[in-house]
Amino acid sequence: MSVRLKSAVLSLVVVASGCSVATADPPAESRVRAASVTDVPLPGEEARKLAVPFDAYNFSPAEIMTIEAAQDLLIRDCMRGQGMEWKLSPLPAQADIEPQNRRRYGVIEPQIARSFGYHAPLDRPSVARYNAERDDQLTELSPAARAAYGDSAKDADGCSDKAQAHLLKDAPEVSASLFNTLVRQTFEESQRDGDVVRVFRDWSACMKKKGFDYPDPLAAITDDRWMNNQRPSHQEIMAAETDVWCKKKGDLVSIWAATEKRIQEDAILTHAAYFQALETHKERQLGAVRRVLSRG
């Protein structure tokens, strides 16, 4: 069984915002493909462009991997000091890394809908290799090396904990609890906004014309028919393609994102001191990461 390496990242929740996209022709039945694919598409431009104000206070997948790279260097030096080796995992290609808000409003990428339906897309090859190496890394250690790394409560002063402490030493302590609560609250509030309710209604009517009856995009992506299947069916792929097309037709992502932006900005102003502390925590931790990486 693989063991995921410890991370120095503050535990912040990420909801799975936006830009206008051109309306495409509706999907045709003949375009539905088999669920199994050999080539995983690069993340689409529409997914890469999605951003909300809270992003400035959270760690993106790319930032988390950069933190892990700095931790690896610190762990390597610590382990070498005890006569042991620690293998570094090369970072994946930047273009392959999952965008932070890729599935915030459900599926929005035509290629992903065509290949995976509502299922989460597979990792791109360089990301898959990176995750596999890190997941398997501890299993290759001898018992002595595992103890040096600090793989249990009794090894609390191991190299992993020392690496985390080094990266966090200048970052002020701040609880993620309020942030996680605000992420959920603002996301839910955005769905009750009049403009969003209107585009949900238009999207639902568009979906119904193609035979899919859902009140909103979140209901579509969480349909038990998809969630209980390991692979997407033809019907799921057709529903996901129609979903993406209907979102584009009604400019749903752009309108929902603009609403969430306003709501999140209000929350940041209401809790200004707290968000300043989050920002300082993130800036100082990433500053420590850059210093470690610069010396190699």
- Number of residues that this document lists for the chain: 296
Nearest-5° angle of CA 18, CA 22, CA 23? 115
Residue by residue, pLDDT tens for the chain (296 residues) are: 333 445 555 545 443 333 333 334 445 443 444 333 347 899 999 999 999 999 999 999 999 999 999 999 999 999 999 999 999 989 999 999 999 999 999 999 999 999 999 999 999 999 999 999 988 888 888 889 988 998 655 556 899 999 999 999 999 999 999 999 999 999 999 999 999 999 999 999 999 999 999 999 999 999 999 988 888 999 999 999 999 999 999 999 999 999 999 999 999 999 999 999 999 999 999 999 999 999 97
Rounded CA gap, 178 and 61, in Å? 21
pTM of the model as a whole: 0.84
Domain boundaries, the chain: 29-295
pLDDT for 273 equals 98
pLDDT for 7 equals 53
pLDDT for 103 equals 93
User: Are the beta carbons of 261 and 144 closer than 8 angstroms?
Assistant: no
Hey, what are 240's tokens?
């996901």
User: Are the beta carbons of 17 and 260 closer than 8 angstroms?
Assistant: yes
Helix spans in 212-270 (H): 217-221, 224-227, 234-250, 252-270
